[in-house]
Amino acid sequence: MSLFNPKILIVDDTPQNIDVLSATVADCGADLLVATGGVRALELAARHLPDLILLDVMMPGMDGFEVCRRLKADPHTADLPVIFVTARTDDVALGFSVGAADYITKPIQADEVRARVNHQLERRALLAELKELNRVLEDKVRERTAELTRTNLQLRQEINERRYMQDRLNYLATHDFITRLYNRSALDAHASQLLARMQTEPGCQAVMMLIDIDQFRLVNETCGCIAGDELLRQFADTLAGLMGRSDFLARVGGDQFVIVTEDPGADQGGGLARLILKALQDFDFRWNERSFRLAATVAIVPLGRDQVSFDQLMQMADETAYLAKREGRGGLRWYTQATAAANAHRETVNWALVLLDALRQDRFRVFFQRLHPLGLTDSGAHTPLRVEALVRLWDPKTNLLVSPGQFISPAERFHLIGEIDRWMLARVLELLGQHPALQASLGQVTLNLSAISLREPGLAAHVAQLLTRHRVRPDLLCFELTETEAITNLDHARTFMQTLRTLGCRFSLDDFGSGYASFTYLRELPFDTLKIDGLFVRDMQTDASHQVMVRSMVDMARLLEKPVVAEFVETEPVARLLADLGVQWGQGYFFHQPELLTVEALTEQARQARHTYPAVEVEHG
């Protein structure tokens, strides 16, 4: 690349992002061009023909996707490689469809950015060098026809070099540079050819498996992108060792891999999928004396004549993987008509309007679930009632309730979760304030608080005002901080928590053990209670590894002198195991199914709490 002087065009409407990207790629030896908007980016691209464009997706006026479409539509700029820079993983498929060469996720990792940029610049340099070699080669053929012997020898040498570079270019165009597997483009070509064959060969059978590594971001964010790349390489080697000769394996981006097999067997690829999941049980990734045990979600899509494009296949696989993850990590699911119906339902719901109407027309409902004390209690001892308030959405069209699993994610995406959290807080405190006698019989009321709400200025003051207005004891409230989105400003969170703790409020860390972020929050923020992620609790009776993890979390909590709550307690054997481990509180359908929050329901639960709760027998020995 000594003869190649590359130019990079950085397009972002935020100066700080431009500064960060400029500093990151400064070592690449490229001349930098900068544009803060789509129109300016198109002008600079047409004038300077940069060798690479780093293009932000979300920009006012003309977004990154439209800029890319216009670049690809203009023959003058159509071959310029574009890397999208985005904070949203759901932008990736659209980015590739409009012509992107690659993508970088925000917040950016410097090593990842440099690796992807250098990869594109190397490919660009090779293309330029190949073009120059072709020109020189043609000149030499014209000039040296008379010197056949010597010229032919030299031509053979140069043709070999040309073939080598062409092979290298073909390899780079069809392979992932991290894992050396086929990339998304190669998979597109292979799957498209296979779908075409199925139209003319009725007996042809095949399935496509989408394998999504669970908690890959845990390694990438805690150990860095170099560790993440090494994990991807090891994971790819594990998959490759399980495949047949005719199977096609590709990495399609991020932590997703795809296998296409034309010999799926009677169980439509289930045997291979279960073999993959079993192999991952023994997969142990080590980095800097840390050990990570990972799982994967496998979505299987049988190929047939109804499918006509690779994009359609990927959409079906993504939807199947989404539904599999909702059922729990490490799952296996086939694409079925039920999956198609669920996809149609998700696509037809305009969640932004539904949630706005629900807030305006008071369609949310507050339910509650009792927390049950575990272990033996003293005879006649009084255990005050502890409950968790739960939000539900009432659908007037079906007269049914919508579970939080369906609307919480859209609420966060459309930045409405803060209003829902405030609505919940106001309704619960209003009910408690209207019934002072009820407050006396309660020990604690837990409310979920999204990390997004935590960023809103004035939230602590708003909570204090509501407590004063409704005359509710602050020590009744316990805020459960969820990790639906990372707490990005620990100083702000610490100030918020300390302000309300001064009043008497308490805080619980939800989903404890689900990631290293939990341990960071535990170290930095003043939590009073730890709630173990239900993923480990639900099946701990049958999953020895989950039982060991729960035991280690309880031991850590005991050292920190913090009480523990276990959620998703659904069977008596699990409840006994938790009690035996020393968990103080259990929550789940085994003890209490959520019911509408009313004075009568709370009064009845409080009446039961005034008597000794049925003790969960502790098994010793």
Both tokens assigned to 414 = 């459309």
Percentage with pLDDT > 90 across the chain: 33
> Is 360 part of a structural domain of the chain?
no
Domains in the chain, number: 3
> Is 355 part of a structural domain of the chain?
no
> Is 351 part of a structural domain of the chain?
no
Q: Are residues 508 and 553 in the same domain?
A: yes
Q: Which residues pair with 595 in a beta bridge?
A: 368
Q: Which residues pair with 213 in a beta bridge?
A: 296
pLDDT tier, 345 (very low <50, low <70, confident <90, very high otherwise): low
pLDDT tier, 367 (very low <50, low <70, confident <90, very high otherwise): very high
Percentage with pLDDT > 70 across the chain: 90
Give 410-426 pLDDT, tens digit per residue: 887 677 888 999 999 99
pTM of the predicted structure, to 2 decimals: 0.48
Distance (Å, whole) CA 262 – CA 269: 9
pLDDT at 13 over 60: yes
User: The domain that contains 261 carries what CATH number?
Assistant: 3.30.70.270
Q: Are residues 205 and 283 in the same domain?
A: yes
Mean pLDDT across the stretch 586-604? 92
> Is 433 part of a structural domain of the chain?
yes
pLDDT at 375 over 80: no
**290-293 and 385-395 as β-strands: parallel, antiparallel, unpaired?**
unpaired
Q: Is 300 in a helix, a strand, or coil? A: strand
Q: Are residues 441 and 471 in the same domain?
A: yes
Mean pLDDT across the chain:
84
Weakest mean pLDDT among 179-193, 312-326, 342-356, 449-463 = 342-356
pLDDT at 6 over 50: yes
Q: Are residues 383 and 296 in the same domain?
A: no
Last residue of one domain, picked from the residues 346, 376, 395: 346
Range of the domain at 330: 184-346
Distance (Å, whole) CA 148 – CA 104: 51
pLDDT tier, 223 (very low <50, low <70, confident <90, very high otherwise): confident
pLDDT at 33 over 90: yes
Give 566-584 pLDDT, tens digit per residue: 999 999 999 999 999 999 9
Question: In the prediction, which pLDDT does 282 show?
Answer: 79
- What residue has token string 């994967």? 296
Q: Are residues 86 and 220 in the same domain?
A: no
Cα-atom radius of gyration of the chain, to the nearest Å?
A: 29
pLDDT tier, 164 (very low <50, low <70, confident <90, very high otherwise): confident
Question: In the prediction, which pLDDT does 508 show?
Answer: 92
Distance (Å, whole) CA 199 – CA 189: 16
Last residue of one domain, picked from the residues 155, 174, 193: 174
pLDDT tier, 587 (very low <50, low <70, confident <90, very high otherwise): very high
Looking at residue 81, its amino acid is: P
Both tokens assigned to 181 = 């597997």
Both tokens assigned to 169 = 């270019």
Both tokens assigned to 138 = 């043609």
DSSP string, 545-607: HHHHHHHHHHHHHHHTT--EEE----SHHHHHHHHHHT--EE-STTT---EE--HHHHHHHHH
Question: In the prediction, which pLDDT does 380 show?
Answer: 44
pLDDT tier, 1 (very low <50, low <70, confident <90, very high otherwise): very low
Dihedral class, residue 4 (left if φ above 0, else alpha if ψ from -120 to 50, else beta): beta
> Is 359 part of a structural domain of the chain?
no
User: The domain that contains 422 carries what CATH number?
Assistant: 3.20.20.450
pLDDT at 377 over 50: no
> Is 620 part of a structural domain of the chain?
no
Mean pLDDT across the stretch 312-318? 85
pLDDT at 15 over 50: yes
Weakest mean pLDDT among 4-13, 240-249, 326-335, 551-560 = 326-335
Top-confidence residue, 399 or 342? 399
Question: In the prediction, which pLDDT does 348 show?
Answer: 56
Top-confidence residue, 224 or 425? 425
User: The domain that contains 51 carries what CATH number?
Assistant: 3.40.50.2300
Q: Are residues 414 and 312 in the same domain?
A: no
Q: Are residues 114 and 205 in the same domain?
A: no
Q: Are residues 396 and 504 in the same domain?
A: yes
Top-confidence residue, 98 or 330? 98
pLDDT at 334 over 50: yes
Question: Quick one: DSSP state of residue 201?
Answer: -
pLDDT at 323 over 60: yes
Question: In the prediction, which pLDDT does 618 show?
Answer: 46
Looking at residue 214, its amino acid is: D
